[in-house]
A and B are shown apart, each in its own frame.
Chain A
């Protein structure tokens, strides 16, 4: 009887791990898409309205999907509260707390921190170029993330349970 319960626990927990991994695969495209939309808003703010960065960050934090708002909200808070803080430092700090809460990969982080390096330091055209670049790069990542998701989500959903089953069979 005890054995049976143990086997059940193993199968369930392995299954759960599988589901979680699958979820991270399916979350990443969504996160990337939200991020892309937010950056597009930033581009509009900068290119068409020439809104000062703090103002732009505030309006994006208010409008964007709530999975990506922490990035803009904390960059804004950093910019407002730390004396002598540049946009790059604020962005970098915000990324550090934002990244672990998302399904993003290191390569996605690199795109964002590259963008941070250029944020606010040049004229509108140049800002637009950098933002466009980031948006395009994220677009490419979205395609890749979707392909991966299509392949991995099903795989991991099954693999978890099946892996648990195998362990149980081996131990039985």
Chain B
């Protein structure tokens, strides 16, 4: 059974160059300025009519609001954990679509303009990808008519559907996992692969892992490491004009909007990271780049879509990665106790489970 850091006891002191807890004792919370609730951050991007409707939603709904979906000439729908609801003109949640507020063409156009700062032309790359990131890390997905040139999407026009996804950072979600991922011998972390079906909190977990590893964990006597984060889809750090809007830690360098394969190599060469983290690897290029990172002696944390190891092994590029036998920890997430439930943690070499379904801290259920 591989060694793990105990949650309460202090970790064994390192042979040399040990870092005292005071050196790693950095504040875990951000500056004292009261941050607005996540849903408030998107209000400036809604035209007055929609703004009033959303503001009128019941407070407990606003607290767990995940999505606002605008589809031209169809009812206004908001996404809550596990369900979606239509919204009436007065902000009440309803089931009867006849009374729902119908999103007008003008609403859609205005939101499109507001999220782009009235400069849609400045968002060509974003339109190609189909979403725009707002300050605060919230994302607006766009759909409409794609303009295709030489077989590739050039831009979108006649945008008719918008999905405003409200992003939340859940700090300390990584606490139950962390002791299993820290390597007490080298004061480093293990090569870690987080996998789960979609919408189980991979990205949220990865973000918090990165934050804690980068800040250092005084409770576990773990000094902070320099982390390079490749954030291809601006989901992890939620960069706005290159500046991370999410707390990804003080020793984290974010490469925003860069392809993962290229980004990992760039960070490796340029920023001398001790850990490289990225989201949703899958392609051959990604795996090739990962191999390079392994060879450089840099630790990695990556996430992958998939519900079991067998499923991962069915994908050729990932199969190759698994066969390298480099990954030291596999973390499987699920939603059995709400989003972000840690179902299992495997050791990479022996594939023995180190831990199964901790239920004490499941952030999905507060």
Query: Which of the residues A54, A121, A124 comes within 8 Å of B124, measured between beta carbons?
Result: A124
> Does chain A have a CB within 8 A of B122?
yes
> Does chain A have a CB within 8 A of B361?
no
> Does chain B have a CB within 8 A of A68?
no
Number of A-B contacts (CB under 8 A): 65
> Does chain A have a CB within 8 A of B242?
no
Residue of A nearest to B106 (CB): A86
Chain B residue numbers with a CB within 8 Å of A119 are 118
Chain B residue numbers with a CB within 8 Å of A56 are 119
C-alpha spacing A54/B241, complex, angstroms: 15
- CB pair B122–A51 under 8 Å, yes or no, is yes
A83/B157 contact (C-beta < 8 A), A54-B117, A120-B118 known: no
Chain B residue numbers with a CB within 8 Å of A110 are none
- CB pair B120–A52 under 8 Å, yes or no, is no
Residue of A nearest to B147 (CB): A123
Per-residue 0/1 for B32-49: is the Cβ within 8 Å of any A Cβ (1 yes, 0 no)?
A: 000000000000101110
C-alpha spacing A51/B118, complex, angstroms: 11
C-alpha spacing A54/B120, complex, angstroms: 12
- CB pair A87–B124 under 8 Å, yes or no, is no
Residue of B nearest to A87 (CB): B118
CB contacts under 8 Å to A, within B93-120, are: 109-110, 112-114, 116-120
C-alpha spacing A124/B117, complex, angstroms: 15
C-alpha spacing A141/B155, complex, angstroms: 34
A122/B113 contact (C-beta < 8 A), A83-B48, A84-B48 known: no
Per-residue 0/1 for B215-226: is the Cβ within 8 Å of any A Cβ (1 yes, 0 no)?
A: 000000000000
Chain B's interface size range is 20 to 34
Chain A residue numbers with a CB within 8 Å of B124 are 50, 123-124
CB contacts under 8 Å to B, within A23-67, are: 46, 50-54, 56
> Does chain A have a CB within 8 A of B359?
no
- How many chain A residues touch B (CB < 8 A): the figure is 21
> Does chain B have a CB within 8 A of A127?
yes
- CB pair A122–B114 under 8 Å, yes or no, is no
Residue of A nearest to B47 (CB): A84
Chain B residue numbers with a CB within 8 Å of A53 are 117-119, 122
C-alpha spacing A122/B121, complex, angstroms: 6
A120/B119 contact (C-beta < 8 A), A83-B44, A86-B110, A87-B113 known: yes
> Does chain A have a CB within 8 A of B259?
no
Residue of B nearest to A122 (CB): B120
Closest CB of chain B to A82's CB: distance in Å? 10
> Does chain B have a CB within 8 A of A79?
yes
Residue of B nearest to A126 (CB): B121
C-alpha spacing A59/B113, complex, angstroms: 21
C-alpha spacing A121/B44, complex, angstroms: 18
Residue of A nearest to B159 (CB): A121
- CB pair A86–B114 under 8 Å, yes or no, is yes
By a beta-carbon cutoff of 8 Å, the part of chain B in contact with chain A is 44, 46-48, 51, 109-110, 112-114, 116-122, 124, 127, 155, 157
A-B contact pairs, 30 of them (CB 8 A): A46-B119, A46-B121, A50-B119, A50-B121, A50-B122, A50-B124, A51-B122, A52-B122, A53-B118, A54-B117, A79-B118, A83-B44, A83-B51, A84-B46, A84-B48, A86-B110, A86-B114, A86-B118, A120-B118, A120-B119, A121-B112, A121-B118, A122-B121, A122-B157, A123-B124, A123-B155, A123-B157, A124-B121, A124-B124, A127-B121
By a beta-carbon cutoff of 8 Å, the part of chain A in contact with chain B is 46, 50-54, 56, 79, 83-84, 86-87, 90, 119-124, 126-127
* Apart from A54-B118, A83-B51, A86-B114: 6 A-B pairs, beta carbons within 8 A: A53-B117, A54-B117, A87-B113, A120-B119, A123-B121, A124-B124
Minimum-distance CB pairs A-B, first 3: A87-B118, A120-B118, A53-B119
